[in-house]
Amino acid sequence: MEALWFALAAVMVAIYVVMDGFDFGAGGLHLAVARTDSERRQVLAAIGPYWDGNEVWLLAAGGVLFLAFPKVLASGLSGFYFAIFLLLWVLILRGASIELRSHLGDGMWRSFWDATFFLASTLAPVLLGAALGNVLRGVPLGADGWFALPLFASFSPRGELGILDWYTVLCGVTALAALLHHGALFLAWKTDGEVRERSVRLADRLYPALVVLWLAATVATANLAPQIFRVLPGRPLAWLATALLLAGLAASWAARRGGRDLLAFLGSSAFLLGVLAASAAALWPVWLRSTLDPAWSLTALNAASAPHSLRVGLYWWPVGFVLALVYFTILFRLHRGRARAAAEGEGY
């Protein structure tokens, strides 16, 4: 039962990254791919039907942790307090910038919210990537199940740990590159005209940077958390996930070069899913590894809720998941085709 809920929590996180990831990527690129007001409204029209619904997957991930692994959620919220506080503000400002930008026609007003949208969409992937880096490397978890990390720490490889240090920033920048590439492929699929052409060119430029950063982050992880790689030979799911991410990485490039926009976007989605699935498979059963003493780590086995709670939750989880899938299927069906900027005074 614990393994099933561990997998379900990982699935929720992975879906959130893939779904909200293209929103972040589009936001981080919109100043580069959209030069005029009409083009910027076209970018907003492309993500407009999806962005707020995509955040539901983040809430779902938190709900699964609250139900199945409340000790992990409590310890993580406390230890990563500063980063979570920043992430919440970033998400609030991202939403505000999308909704408020076109309320006034003043150029300064729109430029302010455009800049806010860009900054929020850029910072969110960095914070999410840094969070994954901390989970992979481990945190100074004590015997009482609590830890505290400063927001910034030494950027020396031998310095103290922090929410943002050399390794977690590397993971954050890698996540940013991955989601910018993801967003560029989404815009190439969902827009037309100059916005699409610029998105295609940026996707081609971001691809080699993504590959280099991903390899660098993988090597750094192997040096800092070798136990993750030692368990891989005995975990077939980790190898399947690795095959998925490599296939997705190759498919996104080949499909992009072949002009198949949707297939390229799906390849990028497979890459992101593969990275997170491989991470989860390699970490199992550990949620938060203690760098002070491995025996103090919070795992799916020692931090799970009572068996009765896990069984009851399993009755309701499929209902909510299927409803969400139906909703998003209808949403993408209704908004198939390429987005165009709304007329002035309408929509985004």
Degrees to nearest 5, angle at CA 210 with 44 and 204: 65
> What DSSP state is assigned to residue 292?
S
d(CA 29, CA 186): 11
What pLDDT shows up at residue 344? 58
Residue with tokens 């939750």: 313
Which pLDDT belongs to residue 288? 95
Of 342, 345, 332, residue with least CA distance to 53: 332
SS (H, E, C) 182-222: HHHHHHHHHCCHHHHHHHHHHHHHHHHHHHHHHHHHHHHHH
- Rounded Cα distance between 348 and 341, Å, is 8
Report which DSSP code applies to 341. P
Per-residue pLDDT of the chain (348 residues; tens, 9 = 90+): 899 999 999 999 999 999 999 999 999 999 999 999 999 999 999 999 999 999 999 999 999 999 999 999 999 999 999 999 999 999 999 999 999 998 888 889 999 999 999 999 999 999 999 999 999 999 999 999 899 888 887 776 666 788 899 999 999 999 999 999 999 999 999 999 999 999 999 999 999 999 999 999 999 999 999 999 888 888 999 999 999 999 999 999 999 999 999 999 999 999 999 999 999 999 999 999 999 999 999 999 999 999 999 999 999 999 999 999 999 999 999 998 888 766 655 555
| Spatial separation of the C-alpha atoms in residues 215 and 219, rounded to whole Å | 6
In words, the CATH class of domain 2-334 is mainly alpha
Strands 298-299 and 286-288: antiparallel
The residue written with tokens 């999410």 in the block is 128
Q: What is the pTM of this model?
A: 0.95
Alpha carbon 37 to its chain centroid, in Å, reads: 28
Q: Which residues contact 201 (CB under 8 A, 6 or more apart)?
A: none
